[in-house]
A and B are shown apart, each in its own frame.
Chain A
Amino acid sequence: MTASTLEFDGVSVAFGGVRALDDVSFSVGEREIVGLIGPNGAGKTTAFNCVSRFVRPQRGRLLAGGVDLTSVAPHEIAALGIARTFQGLELFKSMTVAETLLAGQHSRRRTMGALSSALRLPSVRRAEAVEIAHAREVADFFSIEQYWDRMATELPYGVQKRVDIARALVSAPRLLLLDEPAAGLNVEALAELATVIRTIRAEFNTAVLLVEHHVAMVMELCDRVCVLNFGRVIADGRPEEVQRDPAVIEAYLGTKVTDDA
């Protein structure tokens, strides 16, 4: 296994008296696709939100490229090469696809540059030109170029989803967090999604951590699967190992192991 891109090290989170995460440890290696699954309320989303720093762990460390994420502000996560998508998409409703993809590259310029922006100095123009070119490449990859000047929120749901993923990828992250990417997709789109995610890894050289209800897809797609139940890691390993794990079967008992949620 290569050096880890993201490492959970004994992370615990409690809301009031409820332990959402209890001593969770697992890691995502470089260019690895890892699935995070578990029954409802198992703590998947909380784990995800810990990485985005929307939730602060009470104990434990979260390492990304040697930096402890618990000590950085939420908006600094992107600059560390971690990008995420949202289950509710959270597209910017005042922006076109093009602007969304430019906004996605926000973290690539480190300074605010208020003064140089106000005067629109040549450096700003150059940076903008580079960003536009990059945005076009990414748009091309996701086949959303024909919507370039359309308002993102006015597009069909499937296209919006692609815009959401493109917005995350356009920042050239080392780790992409996908929050239930399969939600709301039909069967064909589902099949396509797995391919898309693999291609993303190949093309963009990024590791992927996805939270997903859709167990079958996770098993097919992921290099490694981490199963949470009641805030604890009950299994962590290759899909076929995990699938056979009695603890996992027990956790999913009463619900369908293979299909949706």
Chain B
Amino acid sequence: MHLDLQLITSGLAIGSVYGSIALGLVLIYRSTGILNFAQGEMATFSTYIGWSFVVSVGMPYWVGFLLAVLAAFLLGAVVERVAIRPVQNQPHLTVVIVTLGLFLLFNALSLKFWHSDVRPFRSPFPSGSVHVLGTYISWVSIGIFGVSLISMAFVGIVFRFTKVGLAMRAVTSNPMASALMGISNGRILSLGWGLSAAVGAIAGMLAANRLLLDPNMMQGVLLYAFAAAVIGGMTSPVGAVIGGLVMGVTNALVSSVSWIGSDLSLAATFIVLVLILLVRPQGLFGRQIEVRV
């Protein structure tokens, strides 16, 4: 029995990584209406920047961490300005292709600068595990979980209580009106991308110890993070994190079912996802979109 509990805690641990990347996706989707395929690769790239500061340059961990988050913020804003804004008025599919291009670009750059070797990256959290209720939970997982909750709260507060968040929502829901009200749409959109990249960098830096840092570190995660964001309803920070946990636990549990096994667990997990969406097409935390005639 306690081993099944171990499955659930393992699922929660990896699920919080999914959730933290999903948070970044939700941030961009909500502030600019774009599905960003490059979220994971940008996070990996930023993590490498942090790794370079800490390991290659030899800075103290938290200094490197902060610099990497800052760099990620700038990177996000620049990417929005250079690659996204020129296609803002194109159909979504075109924008999606640009984010796919960014995905390939950042992957190639990570590969070029840091090669495909897996690199160790220490965690700010203590190594080892706690032993509770017969299960082992690593401090790193607890740390990631905690930080993803903090990020979630941060994103939620930004959206709900700050002027910037209000402006972001205004820009997505009615750009014309918000421009008339004197909100600088461009700046808000850049800010959205910057924040999202920063949230991604935090997730990447913290998860690198667990996922192991290589240029493809986030590819598997991104698939689950998409699913997590969608289950969460695409616009809800809480939904993203809970969606991540749902995906993590579902994956762990289905792989323990003997007739599914680990080789079919990916398929089974996504079938569960589709079933959830069939029942609730708007996701667990999404609002039902009004059907206008």
Residues of B within 8 A of A49 (CB): 293
Closest to A46 in B: B293
Residues of B within 8 A of A54 (CB): 293
* A55: B residues at CB distance < 8 A: 293
Q: In this complex, what residue of A is CB-closest to B293?
A: A54
In the bound assembly, the distance between CA atoms of A55 and B293 in angstroms comes to 9
* Distance between A51 CB and nearest chain B CB, rounded to angstroms: 12
Near B by CB (< 8 A), chain A positions 9-66 give: 49, 54-55
Taking CB atoms, residues of chain A closer than 8 Å to B293 are 49, 54-55
**Complex Cα gap A54–B293 (Å):** 7
Q: List 3 A-B contacts (CB under 8 A).
A: A49-B293, A54-B293, A55-B293
User: Which 3 A-B residue pairings sit nearest by Cβ, starting from the closest?
Assistant: A54-B293, A49-B293, A55-B293
B: residues with CB less than 8 A from A are: 293
**Closest CB in chain A relative to B256 CB, distance in Å:** 45
Q: How far is the CA of A132 from the CA of B181 in the complex (A)?
A: 50
**Taking the nearest CB of chain A, how far is it from the CB of B89, in angstroms?**
15
Assembled-state Cα–Cα distance A159/B251 (Å) = 57
Complex-state Cα separation, A55 to B292, whole angstroms: 11
Q: Which residue of A lies closest to B292 (CB)?
A: A54
Cα distance A236–B203 in the bound complex, in angstroms? 67
A202 to chain B, nearest CB (A): 31
Q: Which residue of B lies closest to A55 (CB)?
A: B293
| Nearest CB on B from A144, distance (A) | 27
- The complex places the Cα of A58 from the Cα of B293 at a distance, in Å, of 18
A52 nearest CB neighbor, chain B only: B293
Q: CA–CA, A55 to B291, complex, Å?
A: 11
- Shortest distance between the CB of B92 and any CB in chain A (Å): 16
B24 to chain A, nearest CB (A): 34
Closest CB in chain A relative to B287 CB, distance in Å: 16
Residue-wise interface mask of A (69-94) relative to B, using a CB-CB cutoff of 8 A (1 in contact, 0 not)? 00000000000000000000000000
* Cα–Cα, bound, A161→B293 (Å): 19
A53 CB to nearest chain B CB (Å):
10
Q: Complex: how many Å from CA A49 to CA B293?
A: 8
Nearest chain A CB to B131 CB, angstrom units: 54
B293 CB to nearest chain A CB (Å):
4
| Closest-CB distance, A109 to chain B (whole angstroms) | 27
B42 to chain A, nearest CB (A): 34
- Least distance between A18 CB and chain B CB atoms (Å): 14
**CA of A62 to CA of B265 in the docked complex: distance in angstroms?**
51
The docked-state distance in angstroms from the alpha carbon of A2 to that of B257 is 70
Taken together as a complex, chains A and B put the C-alpha atoms of A54 and B292 apart, in Å, by 10
Measured CB to CB, the closest approach of chain B to A56, in angstroms, equals 11
**Least CB distance, B291 to chain A, in whole angstroms:** 9
Closest CB of chain A to B235's CB: distance in Å?
23
A7, B214: Cα distance in complex, Å: 70
- A222 and B216 CA atoms in complex are apart in Å by 70
Report the Cα distance A49→B292, complex, angstroms.
Answer: 11
- Measured CB to CB, the closest approach of chain B to A74, in angstroms, equals 10
A133 to chain B, nearest CB (A): 34
What is the distance, in angstroms, from A50's C-beta to the closest C-beta of chain B?
11
* Distance (whole angstroms) from the CB of B97 to the closest CB of chain A: 20
- Chain B minimum-CB-distance residue to A54: B293
User: Residue of A at shortest CB range from B291?
Assistant: A54
